[in-house]
Structure 1
């Protein structure tokens, strides 16, 4: 609902941040205006990072990133306009299309602001080492200030500082609170890996390459997380910028309203302001004279009871006709005499109506123009004095009105709720939803079940034993308990399975019959390590380096299984072998590197040349040529 800035209460940084988050979660318009620019920045940044990694030309990726950044600035401006219309607009519910059109209308200024803010932030970070980015906070509302059309875009920082006013300190703390993006960064990483874990454990999908990509030691994944977090906080930035400008306006026009009203000029036509007592006496005398003149003649019931009071413009027109008919005054004098009528308030409309009808009756009905001219001149002069006196009284009354505004609950700290003497009228009950009806029904059934117990004292109790809220709490506790029990059972089964595999590792190593697996070319135990290594050399001689890398990795798995370092199982992934590694400590690092290279080559379809095969062969050779452990050889 649109409200005036004077009706809003000044907020601190935490309240503004909370309001921005609530606004973003309840309005789809802010997301519709910021997501296109955010998605474009994410895609352009990933394309640039991939071009740098692969050594491609950077002209096109840089150009795309620049265009995406300008598109992001256009979306920020449209979102700021949308939020401002949502808070302070008077045209009803705002439209995203209308805000986008407003941003397109200010597109040159927005593009200047994009370049200005990018250059300013880069310069501040380079010169101050990042500290100035935290201390200089006014330009954070740059897009919102541009959309208001205040000042020149080339002097954006000064314009933002002037619009914020006393809210500059709040803007500093809001920028500090935006560091919550670090938590969002890690939450995104955890959530994505949790989804991969569920997909692998519950669905059985092989997501080895995806799990390897979504690792914190992968630079591209870090860039993706950082840019995605930045894009997700775009609506919050626009909302906080607009709310900060509104807060600055509230502080300047609301908390400083008392000082502003006391400096208002009085409408005394340049004359010095009389002392308070004299001004009060003159005002009272002028009001008395005006009331006496306007109400001196009795009003006819037929003219005033049913008729609507004349508007000031209609009264001016009819008085002008009387003056023209009776030649009351010249045009120069008429302008000075009639001007006070435009300043009369709505409360004087009835008196003005009676005055006009009285002058018209004297001029037209009684045909006494001399009397009408005298009444008209005297009445207009008295009304002018009344308006001047009322203006002085309004200037002093504005101070009391400002104090009343500042004394409203919106500008004061919330007081503790007092005990109400009389109960408020009950609101009409809302129709409960299906979930509430189900909870109530379940509560009634459980209540009946408990009432069957032979307890007379419990039957005599007036209030019900269980309510819908209590039943819901019991259900929540039961569900949480069952969930923890299921998770505990799954964990115990997994630990027992790993223990059985570890205990039976030596027996399985010695009893595996390779002859039964000779027909399975995908099984690592179908060949001895030397056989896989020989096959790898043959494949490399034919130029099949990718298949040769796979054969070397299978030779490594066969060797580690025979040494008892791993328990080979086709249902496990390569990284499961690494997590369950039981071999020599110095072998784990090369095994991790070989697993990473194999996943990128085989599952990632990366091309492998002769140099890549030679490097893989050089890393594998020490593990394949190392002597077996004595206990395994003896077995």
Structure 2
């Protein structure tokens, strides 16, 4: 059964990896054909102006869209100081492709508007940031109030989780390539979740089955005394003969409860626990010491999962005899 589950999980993982590999290969081939153009900031601004001129409505040259597309292929990588910005030119290429088929002024207007937005964003990026000292001081005063005392930044545990996830994604990028890492990461996470759910379901199922097996000999519908104590004792001896020592102790205990209930030690009730039966006996009752010891034996053997054997069952039978359960 374990082998079958392992093979099924391995098959799923291999299928997912195969799909990712195919997608990654296609993207890699495209990347090999069209490399991103590396531009400085001034070169980037000049390139935007050049492309915008190619989209100008007054430019009637039929080769203009092809020239623009060739300049946009692969996207742009803009170097701004110590940073590199990736500029995706896919939308612009699509619009120039449409322009090749239909020289629509609406398309040209939309192209020039998008290129103007890119240039505005670039110019705004170059501007010095505004002095935030006053705003920061105000924010510090607000956060110093009592209602924000519980507010804090990432804890060491949060930072540890982030570093672990970052390491995992680095390994995924190294193995699958940067374009496939997010998808592979999601597949890995959902695979682990699936394994965890299956494992949890297995343990819940096993616990329910075990509880059902253990409780199958406990009276659930009729009072204990509906089955005579000798019948309980006979079942206990059969369990002992089969080597089921814990079950034998369990059945012998219910023989004792049935014996007392038949003698009106309490009114029959199918919902009582072993400790509740013990509390029903008066402290002065001659049966209380034997029932107390018998209850303790049940608890450590049946509920406490202590090892049981012939000696354990023999001690239980002695307690039953002290209680008054003697076979004729």
| Structure with more helix by fraction | 1
Question: When you count strand as a share of all residues, which structure comes out higher?
Answer: 2
How does the TM-score come out when normalised to structure 1? 0.17
Larger radius of gyration: 1
